[in-house]
Structure 1
């Protein structure tokens, strides 16, 4: 049905080195030093005269971005981890201090004396959270939000594409003067995606993120939609203009999806979601539930970032075992 080549850590490392070897002199120079880097981040101009040396990351997607770029040693602490660091980067992630299981307070963040707070969600920066961006910047702490998570009109990708994912990698790499590493990382991900063949025949999918009475699902413009599109699945919630959104079980029953993607999280594991689906008389009769056509994905891989391409390959690999061709 498909041709999928899964690249392990050594294979990805080889592609990364190849990308670095082929980097232009300009890229190599930018990776080592260079002029100030100014970015427009969610409508806010942020200037980096030098690469940040002390960084607090919030959400796994931001931690993994820096680890994948080879600048994980700049992370002084992290917060809101969505799961363990993938094996390929685990050796680069010694026991990083975790400030909070969810969003840390501004006081706790400032105790780390960071030069930069890199957040996976724009909503992490509030007075009750890590601090408002204006307040932090007034104290000399720069702030940066994963661009795919910007909420302002014209800033959040709609819909998200791999061009957007790779643009974030390039932008973060430029901030840390690691452009050669960024290009190598992108080359590896492009090679991984090139090995994925979408389903030859249409099939529908529910992206079940969380919830019991009301399911919270992957909607039509974010990473879940991009991943489903790339493997050839039609999202039953693609009409909702958001990355994730509340849905309803009646709509799920009406759609009767061919497969169900189950998001695995420590606080809401796959087993709990299967119990919800199989114990409810309405959903227990869904085709995907009766035939146990379940795909699984780690929560940390559901947000746009350095795991989006591998999430595509992993779901494609799982799809190949379901016999939907």
Structure 2
């Protein structure tokens, strides 16, 4: 990738990698392989685990306050401490002796907050921000699953495991190609993403990863004209689009079943095509945010939208 530059030292076998990566429009240099990395949120943590990087980690953050850790994942990270149940503070990161922070804007960092790439740089802690989240700090024209592949490639380069990252991404791309082949010629179905909220729904705009998942699954995000990431819209805007299918994001409370029950009893949404036809797909938070489960989400949604193509 043109925006991930690996220094000659890495190519000649020097242990310390030196890579320069475009992170939200800023070129960030990573001068050595991190040994005490912190990953925030379950999707970033899973990328680290998929690349077999637990030995390079000092812990993780932002999981227990929002998610019930699956048994298999809990076993994998049993020797890694959770340094904070929500966003970590600067004190949390310094106490962990962190030398790398893998997070994102609104995924462990807030614009104007105490923990940002610039504040961490004062303590020589480099940061990689998940690419989807860059929509909060720079103008982005679009999003695609190539952004997830970019994240995986970037983490692979930073930790000197580019080969592992390539194998992972090649497998994902092959699966995407198979879905695309099955969906050739299908009419695009309209899809609304319902994360949460009763007064106003919290949903995925054109710059959130479900937009890319929906497109890859042969659908059309009814909020494609909303040039934002995750955001709130009006129920009127949802009803006007009359989506044929609704994706429910499942995490915390209320449960996915409770969200569907709300849509069925809420007067504004009772008559929407998706609700009338009981046409829903439930995606976990980890599948609906940038990470290794995005392709699982594409396959699941595609099968729900076009079951006849997957018999």
Moved over 4 A (4+): 28-32, 84-91, 126-130, 320-325
Contact 1:67 1:89 in 2 (8 A): no
What is the Cα deviation at residue 87 of structure 1?
Answer: 7.9
Aligned pair in 2 of structure 1 residues 233, 33: CA closer, same or farther (>3 Å)?
Answer: same
SS across alignment from 1:311: helix
Is 1:50 the counterpart of 2:26? The answer is: no
Q: How does 1:172-321 map to 2 (within 5 A)?
A: 172-196=155-179, 197-198=182-183, 200-321=186-307
- Superposition TM-score, scaled by structure 2 size: 0.85
Alignment-derived partner of residue 4 in structure 2: none
- Counterparts of residues 47-86 of structure 1 (less than 5 Å): 47-81=29-63, 83=67
CA–CA distance in structure 1, aligned partners of residues 222 and 233 of structure 2: 10
Q: Deviations over 1:187-237 (max 9, x none)?
A: 110121122133712311111111111011111232111111111111111
Q: How many residues align?
A: 297
Deviation at 1:152, TM superposition (A): 3.0
The alpha carbon displacement at 1:259 in A equals: 0.8
Partner of 1:143: 127
* Aligned alpha-carbon RMSD (Å): 2.9
More moved, 257-266 vs 198-207: 198-207
Separation in 1, partners of 2:14, 2:282: 39
User: Quick one: higher RCO (CA 8 Å, sep 6+), 1 or 2?
Assistant: 1
Q: How far apart, in 1, do the equivalents of 2:300 and 2:125 lie?
A: 37
Find the aligned partners of 1:281 and 1:289 in 2 and give their Cα distance. 11
Partner SS, residue 281 of structure 1: coil
- Cα offsets for 1:5-31 (capped at 9, x unmatched): xxxxxxxxxxxxxxxxxxxxx9x9689
Q: Matched residue of 2:82: which SS?
A: coil
- Residues 83 and 96 of structure 2 are in contact (CA less than 8 Å); yes or no, is this contact kept in structure 1? no
- The answer to whether the 8 Å contact 2:41/2:107 transfers is no
Cα 1:171–1:143 change in 2 (3 A) is: same
**Structure 1 gaps, min length 5:** 1-25
Tell me how far 1:148 sits from its aligned partner.
2.2
CA distance in 2, matches of 1:272, 1:31: 54
Following superposition, the deviation at residue 35 of structure 1 comes to 4.5
Q: Which shifted more, 315-324 or 287-296?
A: 315-324
- 1:17 corresponds to which residue? none
- The residue aligned with 1:152 is 137
Structure 2: how far apart are the matches of 1:221 and 1:282? 26
Distance 1:122 1:42, change over 3 A: farther
CA contact (8 A) 2:105 2:111 kept: no
